[in-house]
Amino acid sequence: MDWQLLGLSFIAVFLSELGDKSQLAVIALGGSSKFPHAVFLGTTGALLLTSFLGVLVGQGVAEILPTNIVKVTAAIGFAIMGIRLLSSNEKEAEESENN
């Protein structure tokens, strides 16, 4: 087993999941539930399943496409999302200044 890869993937998922809307939903469900263990098991199962599907899709794509193409495509996709987020924030700021 590649322990460095295991640690890297753990840290990446842990940091990316901190404070997102799914964690807030879990907090709300756990706080209002009489069975917090059920909330824990349900959310853990969901994260495991989505991670498993991501690994399967990633492995399938890696067998079809070269790694460099996958990395470049992902980088371009993230850049486009970042630009769109920045431009939408600028538009919202301009609209709030005009009101």
Domain count, the chain: 2
pLDDT band per the 50, 70, 90 thresholds, residue 77 = very high
Question: Do 78 and 41 reside in the same domain of the chain?
Answer: no
Question: Do 18 and 29 reside in the same domain of the chain?
Answer: yes
Question: Do 41 and 81 reside in the same domain of the chain?
Answer: no
Question: Do 26 and 59 reside in the same domain of the chain?
Answer: yes
Question: Do 51 and 97 reside in the same domain of the chain?
Answer: no
Amino acid at 34: K
**3-state SS class at 66:** coil
**pLDDT tens digits, 21-69:** 888 888 899 999 999 999 999 999 999 999 999 999 988 988 999 989 9
Question: Do 16 and 51 reside in the same domain of the chain?
Answer: yes
Residues 6+ apart with CB under 8 A from 62: 70
Give, as one character, the DSSP assignment of residue 18.
T
Question: Do 73 and 60 reside in the same domain of the chain?
Answer: no
pLDDT band per the 50, 70, 90 thresholds, residue 7 = very high
What is the widest separation between alpha-carbon atoms in the chain? Answer: 58
Containing structural domain, residue 88? 66-99
- Consecutive H or E run containing 31: helix 21-32
Question: Do 1 and 45 reside in the same domain of the chain?
Answer: yes
pLDDT > 90 fraction of the chain, expressed in percent and rounded: 46
pLDDT band per the 50, 70, 90 thresholds, residue 75 = very high
